[in-house]
Amino acid sequence: MPGLMLLDTPSLYFRAYYGVPESMTAPDGMPVNAVRGLIDMIATLVRAHSPDELVACMDADWRPAFRVAAIPSYKAHRVATGHEEEVPDTLAPQVPVIEHVLDALGIARVGVPGYEADDVIGTYTARAGGQVEIVTGDRDLFQLVNDDQPCRVLYTIKGIRNLQAIDETQVTAKYGIPGRAYADFATLRGDPSDGLPGVPGVGDKTAAALITRFGSLAAMLKALDDGVTDGFPAGSRLKLTKARDYLAVAPAVVKVAHDAPLPGVAVAVPVAPRDPEALVALADRYGIDGPLNRLLAVLAP
The pLDDT of residue 129 is: 86
The domain tally of the chain equals: 2
Intra-chain end-to-end CA distance of the chain, in Å: 18
Cα(121)–Cα(221) distance, rounded to whole angstroms? 28
163 with 225, same domain: the answer is no
The per-residue pLDDT for 72 is 94
Say if residue 141 is in the same domain as residue 205. no
Q: Bridge-partner residues for 4, per DSSP? A: 53, 132
Residue 1: per-residue pLDDT = 56
> Where does the pLDDT of residue 125 fall: very low under 50, low under 70, confident under 90, or very high at 90 and above?
very high
Sheet with 108-110, side-by-side order of all strands: 108-110, 53-57, 4-8, 132-136, 151-158, 162-166
Both 40 and 143 in one domain: the answer is yes
Pair 58, 125 in one domain? yes
Based on its alpha-carbon atoms, the radius of gyration of the chain, rounded to whole angstroms, reads 21
**Residue 164 and residue 234 in one domain:** no
CA count, 13 A, side-chain hemisphere, 140: 22
**In angstroms, rounded to a whole number, what is the distance separating the alpha carbons of residues 296 and 228?**
60
CATH at 202: 1.10.150.20
Same domain assignment for residues 61 and 78: yes
CA–CA dist 280, 148 (Å, integer):
43
Let me know whether 160 and 232 are in one domain: no
Selected residue with higher pLDDT from 282 and 129 = 282
pLDDT of residue 114: 97
Domain end call among 221, 236, 254: 254
Judgement on whether residues 160 and 180 belong to the same structural domain of the protein: no
Separation CA 78–CA 30 (nearest Å): 25
The string of pLDDT tens digits covering residues 244-291 is 999 999 999 999 999 999 999 999 999 999 999 999 999 999 999 999
* Structural domain harbouring 189: 176-254
Burial of 272 (0-12, 13-18, 19+ CB in 10 A): exposed
Q: Which tens digit of pLDDT belongs to each residue from 79-107?
A: 877 777 889 999 999 999 999 999 999 99
Shared-domain flag, residues 160 and 46 = yes
Q: Which of 254, 270, 291 corresponds to the end of one domain?
A: 254
CATH classification at residue 261: 3.40.50.1010
On average, the pLDDT of the chain sits at 94
d(CA 5, CA 92): 25
For residues 197 and 210, give the distance between their C-alpha atoms in angstroms, rounded to a whole number: 17
Same domain, 133 and 263: yes
One domain for residues 58 and 145? yes
Q: Output DSSP code: residue 190.
A: -
115 and 241 part of one domain: no
Confidence (pLDDT) at 159: 64
Query: Are 160 and 41 a contacting pair, CB within 8 Å?
Result: yes
